[in-house]
A = this chain, B = another copy of it.
């Protein structure tokens, strides 16, 4: 199977590397050259444009930042147009439902097969090939992708034929992570407001009934009030909450927790915290309670 891979950021690079190591032929492209060179040194073909990466491949994987970057590269950048009819396009980025539908239409017009397959897991999980892959698309297309997904992830979850379903699931998942952060933030502020160190509370709760990565990772950052380096930037979290709200709006689903999250992310952004780790959202609860001190 011949594969094109667009987007070699913190997630894309290790994913592409795993495919290469598993013996797949890979044509790679990235906006900046350095990650391309690294993979070329391990045998990948360094494409000079998105279209060149798409030439003659059976499967084109895209792992780009957001809707705009995906549209720039896949549509305007000519990647889709360069594909052979019948080829499979796998979008693994977290994008809006509206864009997922737009992509689907583009692919249908070009006789391409479109699959959405966003992932759960951060960079270390991607490196270990242990992602959870949230996939939606035609069953036989998903069947064809199984050998590839098995390299990238520990398990592929299928959510039906409509590709955008997988994007809904991804947005719902990220909404739940944001909720976990906010929940810890308010609980820690409550404790701290009564003289119990937030870190004492969080250390207890994340080693007892909330002992799972979504809590232990962000909980440790909140506990120490250390938000650099950013594992996942707060500004990206804000974007995902926005996309979840838009998805809710499209189906008339009220999401009051997501609404609170939206407002608190804006509060964070207004206070210059967008480039910090998502856990910096915890600053809002402390600040509002008059408990915020300079973090270390």
Contact = CB atoms under 8 A, between A and B. Distances in A.
Interface in A17-67: none
B160 A257 contact: no
B184 A168 contact: no
A164 B264 CA distance: 26
A208 to B, nearest CB: 5
Contacts of A175: 183, 186-187, 190
A interface SS class: helix
Contacts of A260: 256-257, 259-260
A146 interface: no
Listed residue (A169, A172, A250, A289) with the most chain B CB atoms within 10 angstroms of its CB: A172
Listed residue (A191, A251, A258) with the most chain B CB atoms within 10 angstroms of its CB: A251
Interface residues of A, number: 78
Interface in A190-216: 190-191, 193-196, 200-201, 204-205, 208-215
Given A259-B260, A289-B252, A209 B242 contact: no
A194 B200 CA distance: 40
A248 interface: yes
Contact of A134 (B183, B189, B204, B256): B204
Q: What copy number does this chain have within its complex?
A: 4
B209 A190 contact: no
Interface stretch (A80-88, A108-116, A137-145, A265-273): A265-273
A75 interface: no
A253 B195 CA distance: 12
B251 A193 contact: yes
A242 B252 CA distance: 13
Interface of A: 97, 120-121, 132, 134, 155, 157, 159-160, 162, 164-165, 168-169, 171-173, 175-177, 179-180, 182-184, 186-191, 193-196, 200-201, 204-205, 208-215, 242, 244-245, 247-260, 262-264, 266-267, 269-272, 285, 288-291
